[in-house]
A and B are shown apart, each in its own frame.
Chain A
Amino acid sequence: MITLERIAKTYDLGSATVEALVQVDLSIERGEFVTVMGPSGSGKSTLLHILGILDTADAGIYTLEGHDLTTLGDRELSRIRNEHFGFVFQSFNLFNEFSALENVMFPLMYAGMRGPERRDRAEELLSSVGLDHRMGHYPNMLSGGEQQRVAIARALANDPTLILADEPTGNLPSEKGEEILTILESLNRDGVTIVMVTHDDELGQRGSRCVRLRDGRIESDTRKAA
């Protein structure tokens, strides 16, 4: 599904340059549940952002379903993010000025879906994560677990093929984290590819494949026997 070849990313911090990723080759198949682990600063988030084309690599080739993404413009890339990818973040990253329902409606709005249809779809998504009763609530009125579930509903809005989760349980108490993980696993069972960055060794073992990064390089890449 996704192939990264010799991907490199350097951050220029003025006084020093930081090599976030060095010569990363990675291939992700449809339906995988990949966990990305590694110490702080090992380039996990950078890798995730590059996979989600929120960020672009300085060098290397990114191929999505056989298409070289480096040739595409911002509009096309945004469209891919909107329709094929879904992001889930550690700090939820909801729009605080908008209700849970409206947050979920945003990606639908960017996709050009019409108002009433959009509302129905968003309600359906929120129900599927068990938030029927919280649709009109603003993020600051919701618990962390609820906020993350809104974020997942938002990530799922346009039926993405890939979910990119950056420590989705990092800010949650363990039982709430477990709920989130359960949702992700069930999505994976339905065929959605998942890439999840985590610190947690136990969580790292929950996926079908674990990629370990150190200093911007892939240290290990282990697949569980099915």
Chain B
Amino acid sequence: MSLFDRLKTSLRYIRGRLVESILIVAAIAVGVALVAAMAAFWGDYNRQTEFLLNDPAYREVVVEVVGTERDLDEAVAEYDPETAETVQLGLDELTLAMRSVSAAQYAYLADRTRLQAGVSERLQNAIAQGRFGGQGAGVPPAGTAGALAAPAAEALGGDDTNDSDSAPDAGQIVEAQPLPREDAGEEESEVERGEEDDTDERAIDAAEASRDRNQAASPAPSGGGRGQFDGAGGFNLEQLLAGSEDVITEFPVDWIATISGTEQLFAAYGLEADQGSLFTDEDVEGGNAVMVLGSDLAGRMFPDDDPIGQQGLFGIRTYTVVGVLRPSEIRDNETGLMINEMAFVPNSDAQVSFGGFTIDFTQASQTLRFAVADSRDIERAVSQIESFFEAEYGPGAVAVSARIEEAAEERDQIGRVLVVVLFLAVAALFIASINLFNLMLMRVIKRTKDVGISRAIGASKGSVFRSFLNESALLSLIGTLIGLAVSPLVYRLLASSLVVSAQALDGVGSTSGMAGNWILLVAGAAVAAGISIVFGVWPARQASRIDASLAIRTE
């Protein structure tokens, strides 16, 4: 009896009991889909987590100051919370630390900030309303030509239309604000949605505070609030943009996510210049206002021109673009943004003085970062760094953390969930297989007489065995094919429900991840099919052992 004949015969029997056949096929399909999807997911999970653990973010050790009033420049003995001032971490600390931390290859600052590109409406209004010293009504410096005049006059004139077009050259102060460190993912939306108002508010407050300090130290020559805006020493945006015909004050973007860092940041994150060059520690020390752009950001900001050498007004400072990065796959783990979409500036102290005010740009950097070349060194690096800071500043002065540790924990948690889900998938397949087993056993009993007849007309025991095994295998295979067809859906379902908020699995469950794992998917399905086929062996064996003589006499 040929296989083809056997298949045809099996199909007839399957068709003869269609409903139960469909149900068993469905049960097997579910089992196979779950097992196959789990297998593929498991593969992705492992591959992706391996990949992520080599991601720069997971080779990084972060040292944070505990409390905000601590200055790591001071030795422990002298530390006094009452008198200590703003915390400052800089190149000196890094250099010092690197001497005792051999496991780490890189030490750098990399504070996430956000820079305003151009002028915010709110700040324009604030200036117009005189919150920088002038009384609203008194502000308009009638004779003063330039940037401030137009918008201010406009605002005061009660014309609130505030078309941004009408103030093309108005630059304004924004102090770069550190982005709050939060779990990435949320942070991305934070950047989008923004706390623009809040940032402006703080910027304005900072500017006001600065003015107050300056006033106290050296009262403005012309005296009086409104006077500050008058004359040559007055608050004049033109000054900010002095000699600035080439300075760009309007960009297609309003904000740029920025990393304020030091030289080794690039090496640690594996970033290279595609055009121009990267900034160096000399730029950091010299307080140079230079900027390196991510490839996509560069394209968006300067779609038509060569970005290198362009000058632009960001916040209150004019930065010169010195480099554009080579496109990178890396996503910044703190903001969740692609590195390609970010800008890099030196993390340096800078002050801008104008109109008798000095605005301090200093970012109190509260975070030092170290990076190892190989993530396996990270534990050693963490312990060395801990000892260094403990020796230098006493216990508890800093918190040392490595994202890899959080990631590993997250990974373990998800791993445990995966084991449970895998177990359930196998259980589903097992139950389906047991059902197939029962169904086939029942069919053997029901067809006892048919078996007797087949034997009488020339079927051997082996032939009977193969016929029944064939039938159950056919049910399994149909179920497997259907299961395989729906397994990508199940995979996506699993991925979306398991990967929620798990940054360690970022990218798992994407369709691209799926594409790489079709082999595992098919292998999973094949194993599942094999299991269900095995469950057909026993009933087939029972069928082959039927006593033909007795069977044929049953009615």
Taking Cβ atoms with an 8 Å cutoff, the residues of A that contact B are: 45-46, 49, 52, 54-55, 74-75, 78-79, 81-83, 87, 89, 91, 93-95, 97-98, 106-107, 109-112, 115, 154-155, 157-158
Residues of chain A lying within 8 A (CB to CB) of residue B463: 78, 110
| Residues of B421-461 contacting chain A, CB below 8 A | 449-450, 452-461
Contacts of A106 in B (CB 8 A): 454, 457
Contacts of A91 in B (CB 8 A): 555
* B12 in contact (CB, < 8 A): yes
Distance in Å: Cβ of B471 to nearest Cβ of chain A = 12
- CB interface residues, B 527-555, toward A, < 8 Å: 547-549, 552-553, 555
* Nearest CB on A from B10, distance (A): 11
B458 near A97: Cβ-Cβ < 8 Å: no
Q: A106-B454, A112-B2 are in contact. Are A55 and B548 (CB under 8 A)?
A: yes
Q: Which residue of A lies closest to B461 (CB)?
A: A74
Known: A109-B1, A109-B5. A89 touches B552 (CB 8 A): yes
Query: In the complex, what distance in Å separates the CA atom of A81 from the CA atom of B454?
Result: 10
In whole angstroms, how far apart are the Cα atoms of A112 and B16 in the complex?
Answer: 25
B67 at the interface (CB under 8 A from A): no
Asked whether, in the complex, the Cβ of B455 is within 8 Å of the Cβ of A54, the reply is yes
Given known A54-B548, A93-B453, contact A82–B458 (CB-CB < 8 A): yes
A107 contacts B458, CB within 8 Å?
yes
Q: Do the beta carbons of B457 and A74 come within 8 Å of each other?
A: no
**The one of A81, A93, A95 that contacts B458, using a Cβ cutoff of 8 Å:** A81
Asked if B276 is at the interface of the complex by the 8 Å CB criterion, the answer is no
Across-interface contacts of B552 in A (CB, < 8 A): 49, 54, 89, 93
- Known A-B contacts A55-B548, A74-B462, A95-B450; A87 and B2 likewise in contact (beta carbons under 8 Å): no
The A-contacting residues of B in range 19-64, CB under 8 angstroms, are none
Contact check: which of A55, A78, A79, A95 meets B453 at CB < 8 Å? A95
What is the CB-to-nearest-CB distance from B553 to chain A, in angstroms, rounded to a whole number? 7
Asked if residues A75 and B454 are in contact (CB atoms below 8 Å), the reply is no
Q: Whole-angstrom distance from the CB of A32 to the nearest CB of chain B? A: 21
* B354 close to chain A: CB less than 8 A: no
- 9 A-B pairs closest in CB distance: A82-B458, A55-B549, A78-B460, A110-B458, A107-B457, A49-B549, A87-B456, A97-B16, A54-B549
A52 touches B462 (CB 8 A): no
With contacts defined as CB atoms under 8 Å apart, how many contacts are there between chain A and chain B in the complex? Answer: 71
Kindly state the separation between the CA atoms of A93 and B449 in the bound complex, as whole angstroms: 8
Residues of B within 8 Å of A78, CB to CB, are: 455, 458-461, 463
9 A-B residue contacts at CB 8 Å? A46-B549, A75-B462, A81-B455, A83-B458, A89-B552, A93-B449, A106-B454, A106-B457, A115-B5
Cα distance A79–B1 when bound, in Å? 12
Spell out B's residues near A (CB within 8 Å).
Answer: 1-2, 5, 12-13, 16, 449-450, 452-463, 547-549, 552-553, 555
Q: Which of B2, B456, B547 contacts A81 (CB 8 A)?
A: B456
On whether the beta carbons of A74 and B12 are closer than 8 Å, the reply is no
In the bound assembly, the distance between CA atoms of A98 and B11 in angstroms comes to: 12
Distance A199 CA – B492 CA, assembled complex (angstroms): 71
Given A54-B552, A82-B458, answer yes or no on A97-B13 (Cβ-Cβ < 8 Å).
yes
Query: How many angstroms from the CA of A50 to the CA of B223 in the assembled complex?
Result: 130
> Closest chain B residue to A95 by CB distance?
B450
Given contacts A89-B552, A93-B552, contact A54 B462 (CB under 8 A): no
Shortest C-beta distance, A225 to chain B (Å), equals 34
Chain B residue at minimum C-beta to C-beta distance from A87: B456
> A110's contact among B457, B547, B548, by CB below 8 Å, is which?
B457
User: Which residues does chain A contribute within 8 Å of B453, judged by CB atoms?
Assistant: 93-95
Q: Assess the B460–A87 pair: CB atoms within 8 A.
A: no
Given contacts A54-B455, A93-B449, contact A74 B549 (CB under 8 A): no
Bound complex: CA A155 to CA B453 (Å): 11
Are A81 and B457 CB-contacts (below 8 A) given A54-B549, A110-B463?
yes
Let me know if A52 and B555 touch, CB within 8 A: no
Chain A residues contacting B16 (CB-CB under 8 Å) are 97
Closest Cβ–Cβ distance, residue B551 to chain A (whole Å)? 9
Given contacts A97-B16, A98-B12, 18 further A-B contacts (CB under 8 A): A45-B553, A49-B552, A52-B456, A54-B455, A54-B549, A74-B460, A74-B462, A79-B460, A81-B457, A82-B459, A83-B458, A91-B555, A93-B456, A95-B453, A106-B454, A107-B457, A111-B458, A158-B458
With CB as the reference atom, state the residue of chain A lying closest to B456: A87
From B456, B549, B553, residue with most partner A Cβ within 10 Å: B456
Q: What CA separation (Å) do A81 and B552 show in the bound complex? A: 15
Nearest CB of chain A from residue B543's CB, rounded to whole Å = 14
State the CA gap A180–B442 with chains docked (Å).
Answer: 35
Closest CB of chain A to B512's CB: distance in Å? 47
* Closest chain A CB from B347 CB (angstroms): 82
Closest Cβ–Cβ distance, residue A78 to chain B (whole Å): 4
- A79 and B458: CB pair below 8 A? yes
Cβ B456 vs Cβ A54 within 8 A: yes
Name which of A45, A95, A98 has the most chain B CB atoms within 10 A of its CB. Answer: A95
Cα–Cα distance between A164 and B104 once the two chains are bound (Å):
92
Contacting residues, chain B, for A157 (C-beta < 8 A): 457
Q: When chains A and B are docked, how far (Å) is the Cα of A106 from the Cα of B9?
A: 10
CA distance A115 to B457 in the complex (A): 18
Chain B residues positioned under 8 Å from A75 (CB to CB): 460, 462
B4 to A, closest residue via Cβ: A115
Which of B5, B457, B460, B547 is the one whose CB lies under 8 Å from A154? Answer: B457
Chain A residue numbers with a CB within 8 Å of B13 are 97
Question: What's the least CB distance linking A90 to chain B, in Å?
Answer: 10
Q: A83 vs B458: C-alpha distance in the bound complex, in angstroms?
A: 8
Residues of B contacting A98 in the complex (Cβ-Cβ under 8 angstroms): 12
The complex places the Cα of A55 from the Cα of B550 at a distance, in Å, of 9
The smallest C-beta distance from A110 to any residue of chain B, in angstroms, reads 4
In the complex, the answer to whether B457 meets A82 with C-beta atoms within 8 Å is yes
Contact B12 A97 (CB under 8 A): yes
Q: Which residues of A contact B547 (CB under 8 A)?
A: 55
Query: Across the interface, do B548 and A87 meet the contact criterion of CB distance under 8 Å?
Result: no
Which B residues touch A87, using CB under 8 A?
456-457
B152 shortest CB reach to chain A, Å: 94
> Which residues in B have their C-beta under 8 angstroms from that of A52?
456
In the assembled complex, the CB of A87 is this many whole angstroms from the nearest CB of chain B, namely 5
